Amino acid sequence: ETGVTQSPTHLIKTRGQQVTLRCSSQSGHNTVSWYQQALGQGPQFIFQYYREEENGRGNFPPRFSGLQFPNYSSELNVNALELDDSALYLCASSLGGRGSYNEQFFGPGTRLTVL
Amino acid sequence: AQSVTQPDIHITVSEGASLELRCNYSYGATPYLFWYVQSPGQGLQLLLKYFSGDTLVQGIKGFEAEFKRSQSSFNLRKPSVHWSDAAEYFCAVAINTNAGKSTFGDGTTLTVKP
């Protein structure tokens, strides 16, 4: 059973560019959550996808968008990059279901630097 | 909206000493509480969780936490710290069992002296 993987590990972009980050869920998991972790801060919830549908969103602007594929892997897209978007982006997968708790497992993250 | 405060940014303890990391939450109803550990270059790992019932919960790696509703706290403890416990620790709160929408504190960095 493979864990949660993310690609790329590191990424450097310039202001105004667009970026796509990828996450492969743990085998059997149908839910993916994305978080932004700025330096010296805790992770902040961006959004969650459950069975290819968005299932909740945090306080992030629309230029942060996502996608979940039939195999439950996921992408995070950020348009019009700003310097403040520099952060570690974490994804976490779990086996979701109405009213049930299932542990979320985190990937190692993608370090995005915006210059 | 819920929030989490971890008052201690950085804590240093000697190996073998006891540890307590503080966490205070703000949420009007019954919270779902978590502690995670993050080692450099690795993702967060769940140490323990509290949903209901016994207010003292046991976790992995010898950690435990106590939920105190009257103090809105969920402090993490370990009786004897090992050098490998050096890491960053995050407290998180969720409003239901969907842990994927958790609100995290800003973390406490633990340094262990030999």
Let me know the angle formed at the C-alpha of B21 by B16 and B114, rounded to the nearest 5 degrees.
Answer: 25
CB neighbour list of residue B12: distance below 8 Å, 6 or more residues apart = B110, B111, B112, B113
When pLDDT is cut at 50, 70 and 90, the band that residue A1 belongs to is low
Interface touch A33/B100, C-beta < 8 Å? yes
Nearest residue of chain A to residue B9 (CA atoms)? A40
Per-residue confidence (pLDDT) for residue B1, from 0 to 100:
82
Q: Are B32 and B53 in contact (CB under 8 A)?
A: no
Per-residue confidence (pLDDT) for residue A11, from 0 to 100:
96
Nearest to A108 among B43, B99, B104 (CB): B43
> pLDDT (tens digit, 9 = 90+) per residue, A75-102?
999 999 999 999 999 999 998 766 677 8
- Local structure of B77: helix, strand or coil: strand
Interface touch B98/A90, C-beta < 8 Å? no
A104 inside 8 A of chain B by CB: yes
Reading phi first (left if > 0) and then psi (alpha if -120 to 50, else beta), residue B53 is in left
Nearest to A104 among B4, B32, B100 (CB): B100
pLDDT tens for chain B, 114 residues: list them: 889 999 999 999 999 999 999 999 998 788 899 999 999 878 899 999 998 889 999 999 999 999 999 999 999 999 999 999 999 999 999 988 888 889 999 999 999 999
Per-residue confidence (pLDDT) for residue B41, from 0 to 100:
77
Per-residue confidence (pLDDT) for residue B52, from 0 to 100:
87
When pLDDT is cut at 50, 70 and 90, the band that residue A39 belongs to is very high
Q: Rounded to whole angstroms, how far apart are CA atoms B113 and B67?
A: 28
